[in-house]
Amino acid sequence: MVSSRLEMRGISLAFSGFQALSRVDFTLNGGSVHALTGANGAGKSTLMAVLCGTHDRYEGEICINNQPVSIREPLDAKRLGIHLVQQEVDVALIPGLSIAENIMLDQLAQPGHRYSWRTIRQQARQALAQLDVSLDVRRSIDSCSLAEKQQILLARALSHHCRFLILDEPTAPLD
């Protein structure tokens, strides 16, 4: 397996005159674990939001394996294998859908995508199995605990070609 190197160089971002990030550099290598620590409001989540395409008006450069990449929307990040699991799980899940539908949501949303429910459910089970989690994937997301919802979001990220998995306070909702 070839390791990937991700670099954020000179990342700056301001909101209505407030400088949220100022010339931040961050480098990581695939296959490793990194933690950003700091006080509330230090810019940790904002930096990860830039990396995941949530904030498109940043200055600076993002490179993968020394090649500049453009990340101006979440789909750009996903295409590059960068996936964010947010702290606020209910923002990223669709009420009324099943666990399987929420895990496979990105694939189901692709234009012209053809699928069978059996395949969707099996792929969702496989994604959960990577986490050693067993849930009835036909169950409604509405009946899930906060910890189960976090596991479902992790499974969604793992259902993709995930080169970089970004976790924003991943243990906060876990039991």
What secondary structure, in 3-state letters, does 61-78 show?
A: EEEECCEEECCCCHHHHH
Pair of tokens at residue 105 = 């949501």
Q: How far apart are CA 168 and CA 87, in angstroms?
A: 5
Over the stretch 139-148, which tens digit does the pLDDT of each residue have? 999 999 988 9
Q: Report CA Rg, the chain.
A: 17
Host H or E run for residue 15:
strand 5-15
The residue among 112 and 123 whose pLDDT is bigger is: 123
Q: How far apart are CA 150 and CA 92, in angstroms?
A: 10
Kindly report the pTM of this predicted structure: 0.80
Q: Which string of DSSP letters, residue by residue, matches 120-136?
A: HHHHHHHHHHTTT----
Over the stretch 93-102, which tens digit does the pLDDT of each residue have? 999 999 999 9
Average pLDDT on 151-155 reads: 92
For the chain, the structural domain boundaries read 1-80, 85-163
With 0-12 / 13-18 / 19 or more C-beta atoms within 10 angstroms meaning exposed / middle / buried, residue 52 is buried
Long-range Cβ contact pairs of 144-148 (< 8 A, separation 24 or more) = 144/99, 145/175, 146/89, 146/173, 146/175, 147/173, 147/174, 147/175
Instruction: Please report which confidence band the pLDDT of residue 65 belongs to, taking 50, 70 and 90 as the band edges.
Output: very high
Host H or E run for residue 111:
none
The whole-number pLDDT of residue 1 equals 47
Average pLDDT on 83-92 reads: 82
